[in-house]
Chains A and B, each alone.
Chain A
Amino acid sequence: MIRKETLLKEMNEHRKTIRVATWKAFKRNKISLLSLIVILSVSALSTVGIVYSPYNPYQPNFSGALMPPSLAHPLGTDWLGRDILSRLIAGGKYTLGLAFVAILIGATIGTFLGLASGYYLGLVGTIIQRVSEIFLILPTLIIAALFAAVLGTGLLSTLLAIAIPTIPVYAKLVHSAALRVRNEDYVEAARLLKKSGPYIMFNHILPNILHVVIVQTTYYMGTGILTVSALGFLGLGVPSPTPEWGTMVGDAKDYIFSYPFVVFIPGILIAVVVVAFNILGDGLREALDPKLRRLL
C-alpha cells in the first residue's frame, strides 16, 4: 500500500512539474499573454454588462443620434442615439456568452462521444464516426444557418445552431487522439486490472488527451464567436434590437457610406477578440505540446 501511495505522490509531483513547465513556456510568449489579457478583460466587461452598462443599451434618444465618439459617449451613438459602448458591454453576454456556452455543450458531448468511439471500436464507434462525417462535410455556417432556419431566430436556436455542429468536430478529434493512446501500456494495464470501460476512458485516456481538447476549444471559441456574429449579421441569429455584436454590424451596415464608425466598432471588436483566441490557441498549443516542451 505504501508503494501505491508513493507512486501516486510521484505522479502528482510529475503533473505539477508539467503544469509549472507549461505555464513557464506559455509566459515566455508575450503575445499570447497579451491575448489572454484581452480575452479576460473583454469577458470581465461582458460579465459586468449582465447587470450594468453606462447607458440603457435599448433606450433610443433621437436627439443624440449618430454622434461621433466623445467624452460622454466614448464610442459614439448609433442611428437611434443609443450609446455604442453600452450596447457592446451589454452585448458581450450574447456574442461571447452564447459562443462559450454552445462550445462548452458541444465540446462536452463531442468529447464524450469521441472517447466512446475511440475506446469501443466496434459498431458504436463506426456509427458515431459516420454521423460525424455527414456533419463535417458541410461548412459550419451552413449547418448553423440550417438549424437557425428550422428553429427560428433567437437565443436558444443560435445556441443549438452552434452547439450541434460542434459535436462531430470534437467527436472526430477526440476519437483520433484516443486511438493514439488506447494501446499505451497504462491503458493496457488498467484493462488487465479489469477496470470498467468508462473508468479507463475518464481516468486514463481523457487526462492524456486533454491538452488536445483544451487547444481545440480555444480555437473553437473563435469559430463560435464568428458563427454567432455571422448569424446575427445575416438576421438569422439573435434578433435586433438585442445588441449582439454581429447583429449590431448587420443592422448598421447601411450607415457605412455616412457614419462608418457605427459599423466598424462592433466589427473590429469581434475581430480583436477572435484574433486573441486564435493567438492564445497557438500559444497554448506550443506550451502544451510535449514534444516542443522537451526542446526547451
Chain B
Amino acid sequence: MLEAVVNRMLQAIITFIGVILLVFFLIRVLPGDPARLIAGFEARPEDVQNLRHLLGLDKPLPLQFVDYMLSLLKLNLGISYKTGGPVLNEILARLPYTAELAVVAEAIAVFAGVSLGIIAGLKPRSFAGYLVSIFGIIGSSFPSFLIALLLIWVFAVQLHVLPAFGAGSIQQLILPAITLALLLTGNIARLVKSSVIESLSTNHVTTAMAKGLSDEKIIFRHILRPALSPVITIIGIQFGSLMGGAVITETIFGWPGIGRLMVDSIFSRDFMLLQGIIVVFAVIFLVVMISVEILQTIIDPRYKEVYKMK
C-alpha cells in the first residue's frame, strides 16, 4: 500500500516536471523580450541588459530551466514581469478567492447532483429523471459564459435580487458559484443515477432485502455507499473543468481569483506569472488526483487489491 502510494507520487512528480517543461519551452519559443517588458520601453539599453542578467535571461535555455526548477524547490516562482514582485505572492493573494468559489460550487454541485441522482436512480421515469437529463445537457453543452450571462440577466437585471459583479459578500458569491455548479451538477447526477440503477440490481442488495433490512438502510448502506466511489472520482476529474470554468466565470463576474489573474497575465504578456499560475494549477490537479485515489482505497476496500496487483 505505502509502496503503491510512493510509486504514484513519483509518477505524479514526473508528470509535473513534464508540465513545467512544456510550459517553460512553449513560452520561451515566442518572440518578445521579457527584460524590456519589465524595465519599460523608456529604459536605457544597459539597464535592460543588467536586468536581463539579473533575471538570468541571458543564460542558455536549458540552464534557465535548471535555474527555474531549483528555485521552484525553494518555492520561488520567479518575478512578475509586470509588477516586479514575486509571482508566488500574487498567486497566493488570489488563490483564496478561487478556492472559495471552487469549494462552494463543488459543494452545491455535489449536493444537488447526488440528491437528484439518487431520486432519479430510484425512479428513472420521474420528474427527477428528466431534470438529470436537462442538467446533463446544460453542463456538457452550454458555454459557461452563456450560463453566467443568463444568471446575471435573470437575477441581477430582471429580479434585482443579486449583484452581477464583484467579490467580498455572500450575495456576490452566489451567482458565480451557481454558474460553476451548473457546469458540474448534471455530470454528477447522471453518474449517481446510473450507479444507483446498477447497484439496485446487484445481488448484494437482494441479500440485504432478504435479511429484512429497512428500506432506508438498504438505500444508504447498500445502494448509495457503493455508488459513492465513482462520485469521488468524478469530483477529481471535474476539478479541471472547474478551473477552466473559473477562468471564464471569474472574468465575467469580476471575481479576483486565479482564473482571472491568468487572463490578465496573458493580456499583459506577463509570462513569468502565466507560467507560475499553470505550475500552481498543475500542482493542484495532481494533489487532487492523488487524494482521490487515496480516498478511494478508504471507501472501497477492493481498490487495495488493485494496488497490490500493480
A277–B14 CA distance with the chains assembled, in angstroms: 36
B141 near A234 with CB under 8 A, answer no
Scan B255-285; emit 1 where CB is below 8 A from any A CB, else 0: 0000000110111010100100010011001
Least CB separation from B243: chain A residue = A139
B18 near A275 with CB under 8 A, answer no
Minimum C-beta distance from A149 to chain B (A): 4
B142 at the interface (CB under 8 A from A): yes
Given the complex, which residues of A lie within 8 Å of B251, measured CB to CB? 234
B19 at the interface (CB under 8 A from A): yes
Minimum C-beta distance from A217 to chain B (A): 16
Scan A264-291; emit 1 where CB is below 8 A from any B CB, else 0: 1001101100110111000000000000
A134 near B15 with CB under 8 A, answer yes
B137 near A249 with CB under 8 A, answer no
B122 at the interface (CB under 8 A from A): no
Which residues of A84-134 are within 8 A (CB) of B? 130-131, 133-134
B281 near A150 with CB under 8 A, answer no
B141 near A149 with CB under 8 A, answer no
Which residues of A219-257 are within 8 A (CB) of B? 222, 226, 229-230, 233-236, 246, 249-250, 253, 256-257
Using known A-B contacts A146-B274, A256-B153, A257-B157, determine if residue A271 contacts B142 with beta carbons closer than 8 Å: yes
**A270: which of B30, B146, B271 is its contact (CB, 8 Å)?**
B146
**B152: which of A148, A250, A256, A271 is its contact (CB, 8 Å)?**
A256
Range for the number of chain A residues in contact with chain B: 35 or more
Least CB separation from B136: chain A residue = A278
A230 near B137 with CB under 8 A, answer no
Give the contact stretch, choosing among B21-29, B42-50, B174-182. B21-29
Least CB separation from B269: chain A residue = A149
B143 at the interface (CB under 8 A from A): yes
Minimum C-beta distance from B237 to chain A (A): 10
A189 at the interface (CB under 8 A from B): no
A60–B193 CA distance with the chains assembled, in angstroms: 51
Minimum C-beta distance from A283 to chain B (A): 14
- Majority-rule SS of A interface residues: helix
**B285: which of A138, A145, A151, A229 is its contact (CB, 8 Å)?**
A138
B149 near A263 with CB under 8 A, answer yes
A134 near B244 with CB under 8 A, answer no
A255–B143 CA distance with the chains assembled, in angstroms: 18
How many B residues have CB within 8 A of the partner chain? Answer: 47
Using known A-B contacts A253-B252, A260-B153, determine if residue A150 contacts B30 with beta carbons closer than 8 Å: yes
Minimum C-beta distance from B296 to chain A (A): 18
Minimum C-beta distance from A176 to chain B (A): 16
Least CB separation from A281: chain B residue = B140
A72 at the interface (CB under 8 A from B): no
A1 at the interface (CB under 8 A from B): no
**A131: which of B18, B29, B140 is its contact (CB, 8 Å)?**
B18
Least CB separation from B152: chain A residue = A256
A48 at the interface (CB under 8 A from B): no
B142 near A150 with CB under 8 A, answer no
A147–B25 CA distance with the chains assembled, in angstroms: 12
**B141: which of A130, A138, A139, A278 is its contact (CB, 8 Å)?**
A278
A230 near B286 with CB under 8 A, answer no
B188 at the interface (CB under 8 A from A): no
A137 at the interface (CB under 8 A from B): yes
A146–B19 CA distance with the chains assembled, in angstroms: 12
A234–B262 CA distance with the chains assembled, in angstroms: 11
Given the complex, which residues of B lie within 8 Å of A65, measured CB to CB? none
B72 at the interface (CB under 8 A from A): no
Least CB separation from B286: chain A residue = A137
Using known A-B contacts A130-B18, A142-B262, determine if residue A275 contacts B244 with beta carbons closer than 8 Å: no
Given the complex, which residues of B lie within 8 Å of A249, measured CB to CB? 143, 145-146, 149
Minimum C-beta distance from B264 to chain A (A): 11
Least CB separation from B271: chain A residue = A149
B150 at the interface (CB under 8 A from A): yes
6 inter-chain pairs at a CB distance below 8 angstroms, sorted by A residue, are A141-B248, A142-B247, A229-B143, A257-B157, A264-B146, A275-B137
Given contacts A137-B240, A142-B278, A277-B141, 18 further A-B contacts (CB under 8 A): A133-B15, A138-B240, A138-B282, A140-B244, A141-B244, A145-B263, A150-B26, A150-B30, A230-B145, A234-B263, A249-B146, A256-B149, A260-B153, A264-B146, A264-B150, A270-B143, A275-B142, A278-B137
